[in-house]
Amino acid sequence: MSTYLVDNSIWQKAGRSARISRRLREISTFHVVMTCPPQVLEYCHSARSEFEYFVLRGEMGRLFPAGIHPSEADSLDIQEALWSTGRVRAAAAFDCLIAAYAIRNDAIVLNSDRDFGHIADAVGPEFRQEYVPE
Protein backbone atom coordinates (compact mmCIF):
# COMPACT_ATOMS: atom_id res chain seq x y z
CA MET A 1 0.00 0.00 0.00
CA SER A 2 1.27 3.45 -0.94
CA THR A 3 0.28 6.99 -0.05
CA TYR A 4 -0.86 9.29 -2.86
CA LEU A 5 -1.30 13.04 -2.85
CA VAL A 6 -3.81 13.76 -5.62
CA ASP A 7 -3.20 17.00 -7.46
CA ASN A 8 -6.07 19.20 -8.54
CA SER A 9 -5.30 18.47 -12.19
CA ILE A 10 -6.67 14.99 -11.43
CA TRP A 11 -9.66 16.10 -9.35
CA GLN A 12 -10.72 18.62 -12.01
CA LYS A 13 -10.50 16.15 -14.91
CA ALA A 14 -11.86 13.03 -13.20
CA GLY A 15 -15.44 13.76 -14.26
CA ARG A 16 -14.60 13.98 -17.96
CA SER A 17 -11.73 11.51 -18.43
CA ALA A 18 -12.38 7.78 -18.17
CA ARG A 19 -8.65 7.07 -17.83
CA ILE A 20 -8.20 9.52 -14.96
CA SER A 21 -11.40 8.39 -13.25
CA ARG A 22 -10.34 4.73 -13.48
CA ARG A 23 -6.88 5.42 -12.03
CA LEU A 24 -8.33 7.52 -9.22
CA ARG A 25 -10.73 4.68 -8.34
CA GLU A 26 -7.87 2.16 -8.32
CA ILE A 27 -5.80 4.33 -6.01
CA SER A 28 -8.61 5.16 -3.62
CA THR A 29 -9.50 1.46 -3.35
CA PHE A 30 -6.02 0.10 -2.63
CA HIS A 31 -4.00 3.04 -1.30
CA VAL A 32 -4.16 5.99 1.10
CA VAL A 33 -5.18 9.33 -0.42
CA MET A 34 -3.58 12.22 1.46
CA THR A 35 -4.23 15.95 1.36
CA CYS A 36 -2.09 18.91 2.32
CA PRO A 37 -2.97 22.58 2.92
CA PRO A 38 -1.81 24.00 -0.45
CA GLN A 39 -3.62 21.25 -2.37
CA VAL A 40 -6.84 21.79 -0.41
CA LEU A 41 -6.59 25.56 -0.90
CA GLU A 42 -6.27 25.09 -4.66
CA TYR A 43 -9.14 22.62 -4.73
CA CYS A 44 -11.48 24.88 -2.76
CA HIS A 45 -10.44 27.93 -4.80
CA SER A 46 -12.36 26.49 -7.76
CA ALA A 47 -15.70 26.87 -5.94
CA ARG A 48 -18.23 29.11 -7.70
CA SER A 49 -20.43 29.76 -4.68
CA GLU A 50 -20.29 29.64 -0.91
CA PHE A 51 -22.34 26.44 -0.91
CA GLU A 52 -19.98 24.78 -3.38
CA TYR A 53 -17.00 25.92 -1.30
CA PHE A 54 -18.36 24.08 1.75
CA VAL A 55 -19.08 20.98 -0.36
CA LEU A 56 -15.52 20.96 -1.73
CA ARG A 57 -14.01 21.60 1.68
CA GLY A 58 -16.07 18.73 3.12
CA GLU A 59 -14.85 16.39 0.39
CA MET A 60 -11.23 17.17 1.22
CA GLY A 61 -11.97 16.86 4.94
CA ARG A 62 -12.82 13.18 4.45
CA LEU A 63 -9.33 12.40 3.19
CA PHE A 64 -6.20 11.72 5.22
CA PRO A 65 -4.35 14.95 6.13
CA ALA A 66 -0.57 15.09 5.80
CA GLY A 67 1.04 14.21 9.11
CA ILE A 68 4.38 15.88 8.47
CA HIS A 69 4.66 19.49 7.34
CA PRO A 70 7.70 20.53 5.29
CA SER A 71 9.97 23.35 6.32
CA GLU A 72 10.41 26.54 4.34
CA ALA A 73 13.78 25.17 3.21
CA ASP A 74 12.15 22.02 1.82
CA SER A 75 9.96 24.04 -0.57
CA LEU A 76 12.73 26.48 -1.46
CA ASP A 77 15.11 23.60 -2.21
CA ILE A 78 12.63 22.31 -4.78
CA GLN A 79 12.28 25.76 -6.33
CA GLU A 80 16.07 26.10 -6.36
CA ALA A 81 16.42 22.73 -8.09
CA LEU A 82 14.06 23.99 -10.80
CA TRP A 83 16.16 27.14 -11.23
CA SER A 84 19.41 25.15 -11.25
CA THR A 85 18.17 22.91 -14.06
CA GLY A 86 16.83 25.71 -16.27
CA ARG A 87 13.17 25.12 -15.37
CA VAL A 88 12.74 28.59 -13.89
CA ARG A 89 8.95 28.82 -14.18
CA ALA A 90 8.13 25.18 -14.91
CA ALA A 91 6.14 24.75 -11.69
CA ALA A 92 4.18 27.20 -9.56
CA ALA A 93 4.95 27.98 -5.93
CA PHE A 94 2.02 25.86 -4.72
CA ASP A 95 3.35 22.92 -6.76
CA CYS A 96 6.69 23.25 -4.97
CA LEU A 97 4.84 23.20 -1.64
CA ILE A 98 2.76 20.19 -2.66
CA ALA A 99 5.92 18.37 -3.77
CA ALA A 100 7.59 19.18 -0.44
CA TYR A 101 4.60 17.69 1.41
CA ALA A 102 4.81 14.59 -0.79
CA ILE A 103 8.52 14.13 -0.09
CA ARG A 104 8.16 14.63 3.67
CA ASN A 105 5.22 12.19 3.83
CA ASP A 106 6.66 9.61 1.41
CA ALA A 107 3.73 10.14 -0.96
CA ILE A 108 3.39 9.89 -4.71
CA VAL A 109 1.83 12.91 -6.43
CA LEU A 110 -0.84 11.76 -8.88
CA ASN A 111 -1.24 14.43 -11.54
CA SER A 112 -2.39 15.21 -15.05
CA ASP A 113 -0.22 18.18 -15.92
CA ARG A 114 3.48 18.45 -16.67
CA ASP A 115 4.53 20.57 -13.66
CA PHE A 116 5.31 17.64 -11.39
CA GLY A 117 7.30 15.91 -14.12
CA HIS A 118 9.54 18.98 -14.24
CA ILE A 119 9.92 18.84 -10.46
CA ALA A 120 10.81 15.14 -10.63
CA ASP A 121 13.42 15.81 -13.31
CA ALA A 122 14.93 18.63 -11.24
CA VAL A 123 14.80 17.01 -7.79
CA GLY A 124 15.53 13.39 -8.61
CA PRO A 125 14.31 10.11 -7.10
CA GLU A 126 13.37 11.50 -3.69
CA PHE A 127 10.28 13.00 -5.35
CA ARG A 128 7.83 10.50 -6.80
CA GLN A 129 5.01 11.39 -9.17
CA GLU A 130 2.66 9.59 -11.51
CA TYR A 131 1.37 11.35 -14.58
CA VAL A 132 -2.02 10.28 -15.93
CA PRO A 133 -2.89 11.65 -19.39
CA GLU A 134 -6.47 12.52 -20.24
pTM: 0.94
Vertex 123, ends 42 and 29: CA angle to 5°?
55
Average of per-residue pLDDT values in the chain: 96
pLDDT of residue 37: 97
pLDDT of residue 100: 98
Q: What are phi and psi of 49, to 5 degrees?
A: -155, 165
The domain locations on the chain are 3-131
pLDDT of residue 89: 86
pLDDT of residue 114: 92
CB 98 within 8 A of CB 39: yes
pLDDT of residue 88: 86
Between CA 88 and CA 109 the distance in angstroms is 20
Q: In terms of CATH, what superfamily is 3-131?
A: 5'-nuclease (3.40.50.1010)
pLDDT of residue 109: 98
DSSP bridge partners of 60:
none
CB 84 within 8 A of CB 119: no
List per-block mean pLDDT (blocks of 10 residues) for the chain, which spans 134 residues.
96 96 96 97 96 97 96 97 93 95 98 96 97 94
